[in-house]
Amino acid sequence: MLTTLFDILRQADHGLLRALNGRHTPWLDPIMVFASQAKSWLSGYLLLLVVLAYLFRRRAWALLPIIGASVGLADLISARLFKPFFHRLRPSHTLDLGPLLHLPDGPGGQLGFLSSHAANVAALATLLCLLLPPRYRAAKGCAVAWATLVCVSRVYLGVHYPTDVLGGALLGVALGFGGAAVYGQVVRRLAGPVPGPAAELQQA
C-alpha cells in the first residue's frame, strides 16, 4: 500500500516537473532565470528594508532582525538539515530525467530536498502578509506573486521537483508565522507608540 502510494506520488512529481519544464520558450527562459537568481533581487531586498524601516519606525529594530532570522533559519534548515538528511538528487542530476530536461540556468547543486529558494521567499512573503496592515493589500499581493514566481521558476528550470518546492514553501510559511509571533510578543512587551505613517502598525 505504502509502496503504491509512493509510486503514485513519484509519478505525479515527475509528471508535473516534465509538464512545467516542457513549457519552455525563448522569451520565458530569461525571465525564469532572472526570477531564480537571488542576486537579481538584491536591489529589491535593499529597497524593501528601507521601506519597512520607514513604515515601522522604532519597531523596525525588532522587525528587521526577525526577518533576517526567519529567512536565515529557512536557508540554514533547508540546506544544512533537510538536504543532507534526505540526500535527494535534483532532477537535473538524475540519470532518468536529467538528459530529458531543459536547463537554461545549468543543473544547479546536487541535492534538492528541500528547496532553499522556496523556503526563503515563503518565509519573507509570509511575514509581510502577516505584519503589514490591511490597507497594504497590493503590497501583500505582490509579495505572494513574487514568491510564487520564484518557486515556479525552480521547477521550470529543471533544478527542483515540485515536492522540493512545496516542502520548502511549507517550511518558509511555518517560520514566517513563527517570526510574526515572536515580533508580536517583543512589540507588546518592549516597544512604545509609533509616530507618523506607521501609527496604524500599532494594531498589527
The candidate with the shortest Cα–Cα distance to 80, out of 116, 36, 34, is 116
25-66 pLDDT tens trace: 999 999 999 999 888 788 888 899 999 998 888 888 889 999
Q: Tell me how many domains the chain contains.
A: 1
pLDDT tier for residue 4 given thresholds of 50, 70 and 90: confident
Residue 201 inside a domain? The answer is: no
130-140 pLDDT tens trace: 999 999 999 99
pLDDT at 6: 79
| Spatial contact of 23 and 156, defined as CB atoms under 8 Å apart | yes
Q: Which amino acid is at 72?
A: G
- H/E/C letters for each residue in 132-187? CCHHHHHHHHHHHHHHHHHHHHHHHCCCCCHHHHHHHHHHHHHHHHHHHHHHHHHH
For 181, the grid coordinates are 509571533
Residue 33 inside a domain? The answer is: yes
Percent residues over pLDDT 90 in the chain: 71
Owning domain of residue 22: 11-191
Residue 6 inside a domain? The answer is: no
Residue 198 inside a domain? The answer is: no
CATH no. for residue 147?
1.20.144.10
Residue 197 inside a domain? The answer is: no
Cα-based angle 44, 48, 54 (whole degrees, multiple of 5): 150
What's the mean pLDDT in 110-120? 96
166-193 pLDDT tens trace: 999 999 999 999 999 999 988 877 755 4
Residue 2 inside a domain? The answer is: no
Is 0.85 topped by the overall pTM? yes
Q: CA-CA distance, 79 to 18, in Å (whole number)?
A: 24
Percent residues over pLDDT 70 in the chain: 91
Q: Which of the two residues, 9 and 138, has the higher pLDDT score?
A: 138
Residue 24 inside a domain? The answer is: yes
Residue 171 inside a domain? The answer is: yes
Backbone φ, ψ for residue 8 (5° rounding): -65, -45
